[in-house]
């Protein structure tokens, strides 16, 4: 049963990260003044994508917690899991920050340039690399 739960954990992690990769890319285009005619469309796309992304995040957490329960808490004692949990916390903060940025676009109060969003867009990729390394390699 554990492998099925892990499979669903990974499936919803992919869903979550798809949103984390694409939503900030939408912000890049939304922040470009030459795309002003599409701003209302971006708002709809961002809202819908954020919803799907949040469902992916919640289900990733549900299946992750289920794996911890099935392991009888043994995972909680491993160093690699502590590092992964810290990165997960950063990812949740990033997810929340994406929501806050979406709100600034909805109210027309965006303060960042499209270049800033290009850098912001790189953060989940770095976190994904580290999370996968800790979960698969288990270096400590």
Confidence band of 21 (pLDDT split at 50, 70, 90): very high
**Percentage of the chain surpassing pLDDT 90?**
99
Q: What is the pLDDT of residues 53-67, one digit of tens each?
A: 999 999 999 999 999
The pLDDT of residue 20 is 98
Burial call 31-67: b when 16+ CB within 10 Å, e when fewer: beeeeeeebeebbebbeebbeebeebbebbbebbebb
The total of structural domains in the chain comes to 1
Q: What is the pLDDT of residues 96-129, one digit of tens each?
A: 999 999 999 999 999 999 999 999 999 999 999 9
Structural domain containing residue 93: 2-137
Q: Which residue has the tokens 């976190």?
A: 127
Residues in CB range of 28: below 8 A, 6 or more apart: 114, 117, 118, 121
Structure tokens at 88: 């997960």
């Amino acid at each position: 049963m554990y492998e099925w739960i892990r499979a669903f954990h990974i499936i919803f992690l992919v869903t979550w990260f798809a949103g984390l990769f694409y939503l900030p890319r939408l912000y890049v285009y939304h922040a470009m003044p030459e795309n002003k005619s599409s701003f209302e469309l971006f708002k709809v796309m961002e809202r819908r994508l954020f919803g799907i992304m949040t469902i992916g995040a919640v289900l990733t957490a549900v299946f992750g917690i289920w794996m911890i329960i099935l392991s009888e808490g043994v995972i909680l004692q491993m160093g690699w899991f502590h590092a992964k949990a810290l990165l997960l916390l950063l990812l949740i903060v990033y997810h929340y920050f994406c929501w806050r940025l979406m709100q600034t676009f909805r109210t027309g109060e965006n303060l960042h340039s499209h270049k800033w969003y290009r850098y912001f867009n790189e953060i989940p990729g770095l976190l994904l690399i580290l999370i996968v390394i800790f979960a698969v390699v288990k270096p400590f």
